[in-house]
Chain A
Amino acid sequence: GNSVTQMEGPVTLSEEAFLTINCTYTATGYPSLFWYVQYPGEGLQLLLKATKADDKGSNKGFEATYRKETTSFHLEKGSVQVSDSAVYFCALSDPYNQGGKLIFGQGTELSVKP
């Protein structure tokens, strides 16, 4: 079945450092890929998405490219801020076969120190 694997956390960075959070997936069909972020005590917020191979999703300085050849969707940001501290989830959906169902990775906690 479909699955998502993320790098384990926690990840601790200094402000203005470069961020990469790895995400790989296993899927049949044509999945859509997402990154969601969860701040303490809150629900999930959509950060970015990509719906087909080679698409790049971007938002608030974060980027991720849908790589079908490596089945990856790594999240990157060039310069992190303290306010980026949160848990990041990679997820996929199979919209043509499984409707709205999202399959999530285990989450990666990011802590950014001033």
Chain B
Amino acid sequence: KAGVTQTPRYLIKTRGQQVTLSCSPISGHRSVSWYQQTPGQGLQFLFEYFSETQRNKGNFPGRFSGRQFSNSRSEMNVSTLELGDSALYLCASSTGLIGSTDTQYFGPGTRLTVL
């Protein structure tokens, strides 16, 4: 089975721009979660989508948004970029079934640099 894929792998943007990141989950997985990884704050949960609906949300400003399509692929958008948004953005997929056996599998990440 193919793993979680993320595109692009690297991005450079300037302050004030917006960016869209894409994530394709493992075939058959219906849940996609997004995380931000920075040296200072570590790994922080952004949001989770399941069956095209946002199921969980972390403590990030409204500039961070996402969506999920009917094929479970997900996109994350960040508007009005700030220098502090520079980070590795990781996507994870899982079956999304409620219960202790569900496991998150991560993609390689998108490295976003904001200048």
Contact = CB atoms under 8 A, between A and B. Distances in A.
Interface of A: 30, 32, 34, 36, 42-46, 49, 51-52, 89, 91, 93, 95-96, 98-107
A99 B56 contact: yes
Nearest to B50: A99
B100 A30 contact: yes
Contacts of A91: 43
B31 A100 contact: yes
Contact of A101 (B56, B90, B98, B105): B56
B70 interface: no
Contact of A100 (B4, B33, B43): B33
Interface in B24-68: 31, 33, 35, 42-43, 45, 48, 50, 55-56, 58
Contact of B48 (A32, A100, A103, A104): A100
A101 B45 contact: yes
A28 to B, nearest CB: 15
B91 to A, nearest CB: 8
Q: Which among A46, A100, A104, A107 has the highest number of chain B CB atoms within 10 Å?
A: A100
